[in-house]
Amino acid sequence: MIKPHGSDTLNPLYVQDDAKRAELLKEAEGLPSIVVCSAAAANAVMMAGGYFNPLTGYMNKADALGTAEKMQTASGVFFPVPIVNMVEDASSIKDAKRIALKDPNVEGNPILAVMDVEAIETFTDDEMKMMTDKIFRTDDMEHPGVKAFNSVGKTCISGPIQVLNFSYFDKEFPETFRTAYQIREEMGKMGWEKVVAFQTRNPMHLAHEELCRMAWKAVKADGILVHMLLGKLKKGDIPADVRDACIRVMAENYFEPNTVLITGYGFDMLYAGPREAVLHALFRQNTGCTHLIVGRDHAGVGDYYGPFDAQTIFDDEVPKGALDIEIFNADHTAWSKKLNKVVMMRDVPDHTKEDFILLSGTKVRAMLSEGTAPPKEFSRPEVAKILITYYQGLEEKPEIKLGKHSG
């Protein structure tokens, strides 16, 4: 395992001592408070788990502008995106030096963290546009990440935090949600030193499974960390509990024992393409992984990014030595009719499009909704069965919410 980003040891912001946490919770009940937005709550959970090491709290305006413009805080710490607590109106805590942050995603808005307020600053419209353009490479409000980033206000509350819980993630996903320090501990117990991470916000079909196997073999890794996003997604994406079930049944049936660790993290998807790929690399380094698979259109949405922009950013924009984790660049993977196996397209230049089994997302969703499993060369039957149940449930009950926080 490699050392965390920015420090020799991981510094999670969750208050692990029970007595101290109870003391802080009691104090927080008497503090001025504010209900944060979902993105800020997810940022707190990620800092709590050590994923955003070496941050000690929410960034101030200078740090946010610096990370957006050149991936660097004012003090020179490499970080690919601003980690901020943005609100529309901070008047209720205007003169407070210490406040309680309340969770927007749990009923009753319980206290999530205690924060020492160092600054309350407001971004100008031009500064918001610059950050949007740099992070997302577009300011189109149809982009789900752009819309989310620009819909929560322009006022930034910065300062260190002490986090008191992990929001809904550890309760709704007790078998899957893990902090960065828990992942390090589990990999240590298994004796893993070289680990390849696979990021996913979707169920894993056969091509994803084989891609993990290819990377595992290529870098001679001890294990694979399948690390799924458990937070909010755009409308139409598969809820986290359904993805979790799909991934577990795939791993249990088709991977060698003790080669795959299935975990999840509590963050809302940014859909920021290249910048989000760098963030993914940073926090996988904090889990101890040595390699991250970055595939075609990694963390993308629609046609906002080129198919390999999330790979080239590591060569073109990330300063040499900024991260210790290595990137495993992957091409599109699909079943070759010629070779009777899943291949990376770049490895078979003699193939034409007709030589592959290729199904669009729209086609796959239509098949599953009709109760038809995709071909075995595309999806494992156990995975298809779970997805058919989900999609047919949507047809029968439009109000169904299998993942109430993930849609």
Per annotation, catalytic residue among 11, 98, 202, 365: 202
Q: What are φ and ψ of residue 250, in 5° steps?
A: -65, -50
- Rounded to 5°, the CA angle 101-150-107 comes to 35
What distance in Å separates the CA atoms of residue 243 and residue 16, rounded to the nearest whole number? 30
Q: Which amino acid is at 228?
A: M
Identify whether 201 is a catalytic site residue: yes
What distance in Å separates the CA atoms of residue 77 and residue 79, rounded to the nearest whole number? 6
Strand ranges (E), 77-131: 86-87, 98-102, 111-116, 119-122
What distance in Å separates the CA atoms of residue 323 and residue 79, rounded to the nearest whole number? 10
CA proximity to 377, closest of 204, 206, 202: 206
What distance in Å separates the CA atoms of residue 47 and residue 163, rounded to the nearest whole number? 8
Q: Is the CB of residue 103 less than 8 Å from the CB of residue 41?
A: yes
Q: Is beta strand 333-336 parallel, antiparallel or unpaired with respect to 111-116?
A: unpaired
Identify whether 165 is a catalytic site residue: no
What distance in Å separates the CA atoms of residue 372 and residue 141, rounded to the nearest whole number? 36
What distance in Å separates the CA atoms of residue 286 and residue 51, rounded to the nearest whole number? 6
Per annotation, catalytic residue among 184, 201, 243, 284: 201
Residues for the chain: how many in total?
Answer: 407
Q: Which residues are catalytic?
A: 201-202
